Amino acid sequence: MTEPLMPQINLPFDEQIIREYLLDNPDFFNRYPELLLAMRLPHTERGAISLVERRQELLRQRVSLLEEEITSLLSMAARNEKIYLFNTELSFKLLNCADLISLKEVLADNLKQQFNFSHVRLISVLDVGADMKAIWEQRLRKGHYFGRLTQQEAKRLFGAEVGSVALVKLAEDIPVIFAIASQDATHFHPDMDNMLLEQLRRLLVHMLAKL
């Protein structure tokens, strides 16, 4: 059964022309303020309201959204500042390391303490066989990988199952994986920013060439 067609209403004016006129003349209601109070708009909770009331309501909603956005931006700025200060301090500690063992210890201890990571490792691809080379070639095609691993991959990299990981290829000519794991399955995800890890990657490349 077909639905009945809505009756066609022949308006004595073109609504689009009125819309464009009001957009081109935003001071129209300033010249005719009585129209603001005379016009009524349907409201789900308050019945009919005036155009002024509707405008005030929209402005309040917009202010509320802007306040939420500002709060979110301030929170993000504070977090980024905290990460920047941590990364700067960690960089100086790494630069003072005299050997590879102390470098690994400083890197792991600081990242685990700051972010509650479960594992932080520097893994040589040459020392661990074909399955690690597969991770190097497949997971790290773009140079880094954020997200979940299979159980086999997790056990090969960390010796245990983990929630989510960040894997970074140090360089094409340095077959070492900078690997971090969190027990939180949502901590590392494909859309996250890699600014901190990229800075650490560059510093580690510099340090490994010296040690």
Provide the pLDDT for residue 128. Answer: 59
Q: What CA–CA distance (Å, rounded) separates 185 from 115? A: 14
With beta carbons less than 8 A apart as the criterion, state whether 200 and 87 touch. yes
Provide the token pair at 153: 């991959």
152-195 pLDDT, tens per residue? 999 989 999 999 999 999 998 888 999 999 999 999 999 988 88
Provide the pLDDT for residue 2. Answer: 47
